[in-house]
Structure 1
Amino acid sequence: MQLKDVSGLIASAACCLISAEVIANESINTESDWLDDWQIDSALMLYSEVDRVSALEAVFSFKKDFKDEHIFSGKLVIDSLTGASANGAVSQPNVQTFTRPSGNAQYTVKANETPLDDTFKDTRVQINGQWTSPFSTDITTSFGGQLSKEYDYLSLSVNGSISWDTNFNNTSYTLGGSYAYDEIEPEGGIPIALTKHYSDPAFFASQALFDQAYSSTIATTSSDKQTFDLLFGVTQVWTKRLITLVNVGISKVDGYITDPFKIVSRVQSDGYTLDNINESRPDSRNKQSYFMQSKYHFDWAIFDVSYRYSTDDWEINSHTLESRIHIPSKLTSYWQPHIRIYQQSAAEFYAPFILSQNETPNYVSADYRIGDLNAITLGLKYGDQTQAGNPYSIRLEYYYQTSEDSGHARPGVLQQQNLYPSVSAIVVQYNYRF
């Protein structure tokens, strides 16, 4: 299971908070005061889907200004993921048996239930560093790198950007780019796309024959992909109260993009599953995104609203509308409601199942994450300070996602099955600044 994918879902539900700062005392030139020059932030978040994925994420970030706006920043992220994930097969009116990715064990799914593999778990450790410095009075440059490691996934990336401030620092232009190299080495290996997923040794004369058949569907032990990103942005200060941001981004991915853990059901004209095959996705993806954000400071609150449109050559088009309102209530306390609305169209090769009598397409995936989706996140944060002046806050978020009917005609028994189950999650965050 790639935690990078789950992180994207968690980010859509809520942002990680919990922060702490150590402010430098520059009046005394000692070693301890040099350490105090570092600004240190920490973050902790619990994300839990009902009957599915649970994730715990801890973030530690640090920053130091080496004078004259020469700034080094870094971050350490630790993710832990457990729970159940849909394997892509359709539910059936009978018990189903599936082989785990390792090929060494099986699990069963009850009748009329979405097939979930409920025993996966993984941990991701990510570390990155960034150096930002002025090139001239109006130009700032930034360069950095990142390393992310999971049990079966390695990601390395580098990035750079340049910003130009003009119009008395009221207008800022930014151009940035990044390159990432990812290597996946899943347990059990990389399956051959569209080959049969052997699920039950009971259909073989011996375990050895089953192992031989299962091994014949594995292409290699690992594969890789490369990602190139380019972004151009403009930030404009209009008045003392209003600031806006516009970003345009393009992304290109080449390499292994198929999910090695997902399968697709081939069903007969009566709706019963004939067999399951390993999914197949294109080995490239081109994506464009457009982002707009505005912040306005009213006398009674700060209003933040943003909109993002994304499109790619898989025909996945998405719209994201998000808003937060920061409302001070007393001298130090505040309330901050939050809403996020998301809509996504399906990839051109998405199908909840395929008919066994039809020719198998070159690309097909039953992964609901690339299907027709609607999602909403609702949240509320409350913050205040202790008597010692340390800020704290608590946030509660609710995430609800529905998968839309993709228009595929359901044969036989599939008419009584829930092929598009909803997903709901709770996010709880506690924040404290030291």
Structure 2
Amino acid sequence: MTVVAPGASAARPQLIREINEKVLLDHIRRSGPISRTELAGLTGLSKPTVSAALGSLERTGLVHVTGQRTGVPGPAASLYEVRPDAGYVLGLDVGREYLRGAISDLAGTVRARLSVRTKAGDAMARIQELADLSTTLATETGIDVTQLSQTVLGSPGVYDPRLDALTLTGRLSGWDSPATLAALRDRFGTSLMIENDVDAAAIAERVHGHGRNVDSFAFVSVGTGIGMGLVLDGKLRHGSHGVAGEIGYLPFTEGSGSDQRDARKRGGFDASASAAAVVRAARRAGVRGASTAEKVFAAAARGDAVAAAVVAEEALLVAKAVCTVITVVDPELVVLGGGIGQAPGFLEAVSQQLHRMAPVMPDVKASVLGRESVVAGCLAAGLDRSWQMLVGRVGAQG
């Protein structure tokens, strides 16, 4: 005997309407502009059901008619798409030297973008600069910060729930203090979401770069710091403790560029293969003008044999790390990012080493997304979260 709770029969049609609206909204987001007939064909819903659901979505301000399709048999069909101004997403990238940010509308169009050199001497000053940057971007977009449906901050480190703080934050002084996270929440409110910066770059790679249509890939960033974003079965993986991809802690400390203090604080591989390590190794080897890793690579490209040896050692270390990833998760693709990872000739040097040591050889490519990749990934993550929230409200508003 089936027992129906009081009011269940009345609630059932409402639940069905809510499900239909969510399904249509998802299709419009992914395939719009799109007609009622096309939506009916994609979803299997009847045209009257589609019309009723579209009317509800129009009343809630989530979709609108954007035009008509002509040139086909029959009357012109109205085309529906997401209302771009139904929400806005703020993406921020917090670095040691630069703060970058952008605002996109709900359709994914970037409305404003800005990069500034930070002058902050501590965590609280950096948070104030992030808030100022956000206000400037909102003003350029023509909105108030209260209209932001989601804010995503790409930051070094991982969240530790036991401490309620970010940990493994690398070279950002004071960023691992619980007071920092509390201040970020106070500034940006409940819409704040924090994503590891390299993971954010991996999201950007999946949405805009070589990772499109690839189910499993590793994004390996080598630059000021070292990290990895890992996408398996189409999903970004964080691991049980949030440290999946923290390859800076691989126990690779050999090489003339290693620094034991850095190794203890930031990991052995980071100490041996980050940009600072390349500079240290080049100076010890006697490379002139080795003030940055970029200059070391430039010297190697000009034919400086000593600089070339430093670059070769760097390629060997990175190849060892990538080989480790290959043997553990066997990705279809490895993407090299960061200032060193994208340096001219570095991809070829790493690939040559991998051919010697790896049991299998995945595709290995250099990212083409550049310095805005973290912000792009934050925007993509924020759009997904915003849609989840908006879809969740459809039934309540309907």
TM-score by length of structure 1 reads 0.23
Q: Which has the higher contact order (CA 8 A, sep 6+)?
A: 2
> Counting helix residues as a fraction of each chain, which structure ranks higher?
2
More strand by share: 1
